[in-house]
Amino acid sequence: MALNFTRRQFVRTGAAASLATWLPQGVFSNTSANKKAVIHADDEIGLVRPEFHSNFAEHLGSCTYGGIWVGKKSPVPNINGFRKATVDYLKELGVPVLRWPGGCFADDYHWREGIGPAEKRPKHVNVNWGKYVEDNSFGTHEFMAFCRLIGAEPYFAGNVGTGTPQEMRDWIEYCNFPAGSTLSDERAANGSPEPFRVKYWGVGNELWGCGGNLRPEQAAGEFRRFATFARLIGGNDVYLVGCGPNGNDLLWTRGFMDTLAGRARMNGYSMHYYEGGSLPPTQFTPEAMYTQFNLFPRVEQSIIQQRALLDSYDPGRNIGLFLDEWGVWDQLREDSKGRLWQQSTMRSAVAAALGLNLFNRQADKLYMCNIAQLINVLQAVLLTDGPEGKNCVRTTSYYAFMLFKAHRSKKAVRAEYDGARLPVAFGGGRGGGRGGQPEPPPDLSMSASRQDAEMVVTFVNPRHDVDMDVDCAVRGVSVKQGRAQILHDPDINAANSFDNPDKVVIQPHQVAAEGDRLRITLPAMSVATVTLQVG
């Protein structure tokens, strides 16, 4: 049956109510809203570091084993044991930095067990994730080879929880010392005469929790000890990242920084902020989705407040603020696919874009952000484990990241827009609310960046029931031409699966862009990137 109604007639006749029952679950009839925005192309915020689009791979579920690594004898097409499809897709996406081997796993990982002939490597119970037997067949050399295949810079998380300063300092020597020491010669004997030159080293992970349940003063004390010996071997070339708070825990940061007291140089400081979900990934309701989306202004507020507190100790901003782990963490059940296996939906893609937009807006305050995790686990960009021949799917989150790629290495510029939320309106940090008042539904989100004659603008419509017509003024440059791409599905639960891998993919989209204006329509549940040539 053809439905020849305009949207207004549709709503007026009351057909909307009766038709709603025919629509697939998660698809809703829409109203439309006009939104105004202004981009200040000359008002620079800061560099959109490619590192904002970094990722994280842990020995958890099927992220590393099965996702990255299938082994050399696998029937799955592979390059020396690395799943070929993941290599191809990740190369195309570009993963600036990849953090490994955890997560919680890192504080129970002993790097020496993951080098040398694979068949001789010790086996250990993975106490954090599933208590399966870790055979250490994926270790330092395998990780480095994978990073080289996909063009990612490695970021190692050192073991503070069950490790020692010596163990971490030896790992640095093994990886980075050119030649002539017993450890560097061992590396050469294991197939890598050239040093790995690993720059980023985390000093423990979540030391307030799975890394040892430490107090901030203890964690800073450990940093001082570990950093002393890491620097003796790694000199000033290693970039040491201290363990920051869970969410916006300002007391943690104060306790940590007071104890650090300038006694050990810390290059980076990492906070973790997951956006929890109250339902399984493909069964979200609009209400549950909005509750999750409304966490993003709190993430933004946390970045602002944590940065301000760090600045009070470090006015020169020499310490980089990391969002070491972030992403949606929905309700998951353990299933045969392994721990924390999570599907990404249109909702997840919108969530990713809300995060990436806010990183652009706070570009001056951030150094690196690592979404959790790379494959199969939590907000993964790829899913594997499909039947043969369908061994790797690009998730909606993959495509959200793709839509932000053009921002990399440009300067974020200021944008004002209807619906922009002052993060401060949302109270303090994780769990901070509005005094029992219901939060408003999320609204338009946007960010812009510019480099010379190219400007990139990303818009997000997080509403499931409102299409947005955006009328955007452009100040400071003149627009010559523009093109747009969109990721959109009216179904908040739509996902790419092994049977339907291209259900939600990037499409070309209409945009009117000329002179000092840009106009675009954003259908409900969409992420759109506009690339403008400007003069």
SS3 per residue for 213-265: CCCHHHHHHHHHHHHHHHHHHHHHHCEEEEEEEECCCHHHHHHHHHHHCCCCC
Q: How far is the CB of 206 from ligand AHR (least distance, A)?
A: 5
Q: What tokens does 51 get? A: 């590192």
Residue 238: how many other CB atoms lie within 10 Å: 20
3-state secondary structure of 357: helix
Question: Cβ-closest residue to ligand AHR?
Answer: 103
Part of the chain binding ligand AHR (CB under 6 A), chosen from 27-35, 68-76, 99-107, 462-470 = 99-107
Q: How far is the CB of 76 from ligand AHR (least distance, A)?
A: 24
Part of the chain binding ligand AHR (CB under 6 A), chosen from 78-86, 97-105, 113-121, 219-227 = 97-105
The answer to the question of residue 443 lying near ligand AHR (CB under 6 A) is: no
Part of the chain binding ligand AHR (CB under 6 A), chosen from 98-106, 262-270, 477-485, 488-496 = 98-106
Answer for which of 51, 58, 275, 300 binds ligand AHR (CB under 6 A) is 58
CA distances from 314 to 49, 253, 264, 306, 308 (A): 21, 13, 13, 12, 9
Q: How far is the CB of 23 from ligand AHR (least distance, A)?
A: 35
The answer to the question of residue 167 lying near ligand AHR (CB under 6 A) is: no
Alpha-carbon distance of 100 to 196, in angstroms, equals: 15
The answer to the question of residue 205 lying near ligand AHR (CB under 6 A) is: yes
Please work out the total of residues on this chain that contact ligand AHR, with binding judged by CB under 6 A. Answer: 10
The answer to the question of residue 103 lying near ligand AHR (CB under 6 A) is: yes
Answer for which of 45, 47, 104, 241 binds ligand AHR (CB under 6 A) is 104
Answer for which of 356, 368, 372, 374 binds ligand AHR (CB under 6 A) is 372
Q: Of these residues, 51, 206, 222, 300, which one is catalytic?
A: 206
Per-residue x/- marks for ligand AHR, 479-498, CB under 6 A? --------------------
325 is catalytic: yes
The answer to the question of residue 55 lying near ligand AHR (CB under 6 A) is: no
Write 164-171 long-range contacts (CB < 8 A, 24+). Answer: 165/225, 165/226, 165/228, 165/229, 165/230, 166/229, 167/110, 167/111, 167/112, 168/201, 168/203, 168/226, 168/229, 168/230, 169/229, 169/230, 169/232, 169/233, 169/234, 170/112, 170/233, 171/111, 171/140
Q: How far is the CB of 15 from ligand AHR (least distance, A)?
A: 45
Nearer of residues 205 and 357 to ligand AHR, judged by Cβ: 205
Part of the chain binding ligand AHR (CB under 6 A), chosen from 344-352, 371-379, 472-480, 521-529 = 371-379
Helix (H) or strand (E) holding 475: strand 466-475
CA distances from 250 to 220, 261, 384, 426 (A): 15, 16, 38, 16
Nearer of residues 62 and 461 to ligand AHR, judged by Cβ: 62
388 is catalytic: no
